[in-house]
């Protein structure tokens, strides 16, 4: 990521990443959750924000551990010089456990087969004792060890730990965020797993079940640690139609990403002119059209055509016509808009930018997807006071 300078030429397409806001959010979430261990999730290139810069800022702000989905993400952070503990938990059949051990990653495992493969990878590394945590399936029907497999898994892990082949550091799972009842049922299953692990002779240091939604909305599910993804990026995991008391503002969180582009062209047109593919928008009067060089190849959802909000020179407009692969159009009426002006799609509402949730609503999706899908043509530029 490129540090911003007032003398730099601004990129045509840009996601401005506010690292001060990121640090603020980490500290604020520590206050809100009060847990002993804060795991900041930086998978998927830190939800589209840029994993290396986010990881460093999160650790500076007090994150105890980083979380990634797969081993390659963790190895890349190590190659960039990030030294904080990193947990990787989603592994395919060809997962490079040897590379993970060489990089000093902690591994979240979901089966005896994975445990065996980790032990085998460690045989060629006599100075390495793998640190593992076990993911338990407690109701999402995704990855994680099934309850029927827990006794075998825990017995195998206890035997391996007694032989000095692994160190079992934690147990974790995930909830569906469907309802309080569903999440409590998942917690009951999780606690059943913890009891079985203890009976087998394991003494995991860290128990964690809650990601952002449960960490903020269900205090009883926080256990020893919480895994915080979306909330760290200054966005609420709750639907905008829910209680306003659970908005990002209510939690004291600040959006980290601002998505902007430079107006590439301006044209004056007559009434009745069609705009973009299918002419789903036609001008009703003589007006000015501004061309914005962002499209669905950059992660701007086509489903937000004729709906997504854009701010230019402090005034709010809507996309007019279809969002194309590389561009979309805004009808600015008789307002003065020029080539080179900034067009802001979303960011911190305190600055006058639309909220990312407005784009999510326009596209029929969630804020998670909008920030994560921003494509590689969009330059990530870090901004901070220090």
Collapsed DSSP state (helix, strand, coil) of residue 163:
coil
- Alpha-carbon gap, residue 228 to 209, rounded angstroms: 11
For residue 374 the two structure tokens come to 């921003």
Is residue 6's pLDDT more than 60? no
Other CB atoms within 10 Å distance of the CB of residue 119: 17
Helix, strand or coil, per DSSP, at residue 284: coil
223 phi-psi bin (left φ>0, alpha ψ -120 to 50, beta other): left
Sheet of 287-292: strand order equals 2-3, 379-383, 13-18, 257-262, 342-346, 309-312, 315-320, 328-333, 287-292, 265-269
- CATH code for the domain in which residue 83 is found: 3.20.20.10
Confidence of residue 272 (pLDDT cuts 50, 70, 90): very high
High-pLDDT (> 70) share of the chain, %: 97
Q: Which helix (H) or strand (E) holds 112?
A: helix 112-123
> CB within 8 A of 66, min separation 6: which ones?
39, 40, 41, 42, 55, 58, 59, 74, 77, 82, 84, 85, 86, 87
pLDDT by residue (tens digit) across 187-221?
A: 999 999 999 999 999 999 999 999 999 999 999 99
Are 128 and 266 part of one and the same domain? Answer: no
Residue 190 sits in the same domain as residue 313: no
For tokens 């593992």, the residue is 132
E strand or H helix that includes residue 102: helix 97-102
CA distances to 14, 96, 199 from 177, in Å: 33, 32, 29
The confidence band for 239, taking pLDDT boundaries of 50, 70 and 90, is confident
What pLDDT, on the 0 to 100 scale, is given for residue 241? 62
Burial class (CB in 10 A: 0-12, 13-18, 19+), 147: middle
Among 233, 248, 267, which residue terminates a domain? 233
Instruction: Give the chain's domain count.
Output: 2
Final residue before a domain boundary, out of 201, 218, 233: 233
Q: How far apart are CA 83 and CA 65, in angstroms?
A: 10
| pLDDT, mean over the chain | 95
Is residue 122 situated within a structural domain? yes
CA distance 233 to 329: 28
Q: How far apart are the C-alpha atoms of 281 and 363, rounded to whole Å? A: 17
- Residue 4: is its pLDDT beyond 80? no
Q: What is the pLDDT of residue 385?
A: 77
Q: Give residue 290's pLDDT band: very low, low, confident or very high (50, 70, 90).
A: very high
23 and 100 both lie in a single domain: yes
One domain for residues 181 and 316: no
Query: Cα(155)–Cα(199) distance, rounded to whole angstroms?
Result: 9
Return the structure tokens found at 125.
Answer: 């590394």
Residues 157 and 306 in one domain: no
**176 shares its domain with 275:** no
What percent of the chain is modeled with pLDDT above 90? 93
pLDDT for 108 equals: 98
Interatomic CA distance for residues 256 and 16, integer angstroms: 8
pLDDT at 303 over 50: yes
In a domain, 163, yes or no: yes
| Average confidence (pLDDT) over 49-75 | 98
Task: Read off the pLDDT of each residue in 23-46 and give the average, rounded to a whole number.
Answer: 97
Q: Is residue 238 part of a domain?
A: no
Residue 339 included in any domain? yes
Q: Are residues 297 and 218 in the same domain?
A: no
pTM of the model: 0.94
Angular region, 177: left φ>0, alpha ψ -120 to 50, beta rest: left
Residue 70 lies in a domain: yes
Residue 101 has pLDDT above 70, yes or no: yes
C-alpha to C-alpha distances, 70 to 1, 59, 85, 214, 260, nearest whole angstrom:
21, 20, 14, 23, 30
Is residue 1 marked as binding?
no
Range with the poorest average pLDDT among 12-16, 133-137, 243-247, 329-333: 243-247
Identify whether residues 218 and 277 lie together within a single domain: no
Average pLDDT over residues 62-72: 98
Whole-number pLDDT of residue 316: 98
Structural domain boundaries, residue 36: 19-233
Residue 358: give its domain's CATH number: 2.40.37.10
Q: Given pLDDT bands bounded at 50, 70 and 90, which one contains residue 242?
A: low
Is residue 164 a part of any domain in this protein?
A: yes
Give the pLDDT band (50/70/90) at residue 245. Answer: confident
Residue 2 has pLDDT above 80, yes or no: no
227, pLDDT greater than 90: yes
Among residues 199, 218, 233, the one where a domain terminates is 233
Here the tokens at position 96 are: 């490079």
Torsion, CA 344, CA 350, CA 354, CA 356, rounded to 10: 100
pLDDT at 7 over 70: no
Q: Please check whether residues 377 and 292 belong to one and the same domain.
A: yes
Q: Both 34 and 67 in a single domain? A: yes
Tokens of 68: 């990634």
Q: What pLDDT sits at residue 10?
A: 86
Catalytic residues: 43, 277
Q: What's the pLDDT band for 126 if we cut at 50, 70, 90?
A: very high
Is the confidence at residue 3, as pLDDT, over 60? no
In a domain, 246, yes or no: no
What is the DSSP pairing of strand 167-172 with strand 131-135? Answer: parallel
Cβ atoms 41, 229 nearer than 8 A: yes
User: Residue 293 pLDDT > 60, yes or no?
Assistant: yes
Widest Cα–Cα separation across the chain? 80
- The pLDDT of residue 1 is above 80: no
- Domain assignment present for residue 27? The answer is yes
- Identify whether residues 87 and 188 lie together within a single domain: yes
Instruction: Check the annotation: does 257 bind a ligand.
Output: no
The pLDDT score that the predictor gives to residue 251 is: 95
- Are residues 297 and 224 located together in one domain of the fold? no
């Amino acid at each position: 990521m490129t540090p911003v300078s007032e003398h730099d030429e601004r990129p045509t397409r840009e996601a401005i990443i506010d690292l001060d806001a990121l640090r603020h959010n980490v500290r604020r979430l520590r206050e809100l959750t009060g847990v002993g261990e804060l795991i900041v999730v930086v998978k998927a290139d830190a939800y589209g924000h840029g994993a290396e810069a986010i990881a460093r800022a999160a650790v500076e702000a007090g994150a105890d551990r980083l979380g990634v989905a797969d081993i390659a993400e963790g190895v890349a952070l190590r190659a960039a010089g990030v030294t904080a503990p990193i947990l990787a938990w989603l592994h395919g059949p060809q997962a490079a456990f040897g590379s993970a051990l060489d990089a000093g990653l902690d591994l979240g495992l979901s089966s005896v087969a994975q445990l065996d493969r980790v032990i085998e990878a460690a045989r060629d590394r006599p100075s390495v004792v793998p640190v593992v945590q076990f993911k338990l399936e407690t109701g999402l029907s995704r990855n994680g060890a099934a309850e029927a497999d827990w006794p075998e898994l825990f017995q195998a892990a206890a035997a391996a730990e007694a032989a000095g082949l692994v160190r079992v550091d934690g147990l974790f799972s995930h909830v569906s965020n469907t309802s309080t009842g569903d999440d409590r049922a998942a917690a009951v299953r999780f606690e059943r797993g913890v009891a079985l692990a203890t009976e087998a002779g394991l003494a995991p240091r860290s128990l964690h079940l809650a990601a952002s939604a449960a960490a903020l909305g269900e205090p009883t599910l926080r256990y020893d640690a919480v895994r915080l993804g979306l909330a760290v990026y200054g966005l609420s995991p709750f639907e905008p139609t829910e209680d306003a008391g659970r908005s990002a503002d209510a939690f004291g969180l600040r959006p980290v990403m601002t998505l902007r582009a430079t107006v590439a062209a301006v044209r004056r047109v007559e009434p009745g002119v069609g705009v973009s593919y299918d002419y789903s928008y036609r001008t009703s009067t003589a007006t000015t059209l501004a061309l914005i060089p962002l499209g669905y190849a950059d992660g701007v959802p086509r489903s937000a055509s004729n709906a997504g909000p854009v701010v230019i020179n402090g005034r709010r407009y809507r996309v007019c016509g279809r969002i194309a692969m590389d561009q979309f159009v805004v009808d600015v009426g008789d307002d003065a808009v020029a080539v080179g002006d900034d067009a802001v799609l979303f960011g911190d509402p305190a600055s006058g930018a639309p909220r990312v949730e407005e784009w999510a609503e326009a596209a029929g999706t969630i804020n998670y997807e909008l920030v994560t899908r921003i494509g590689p043509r969009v330059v990530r530029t870090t901004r901070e006071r220090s």
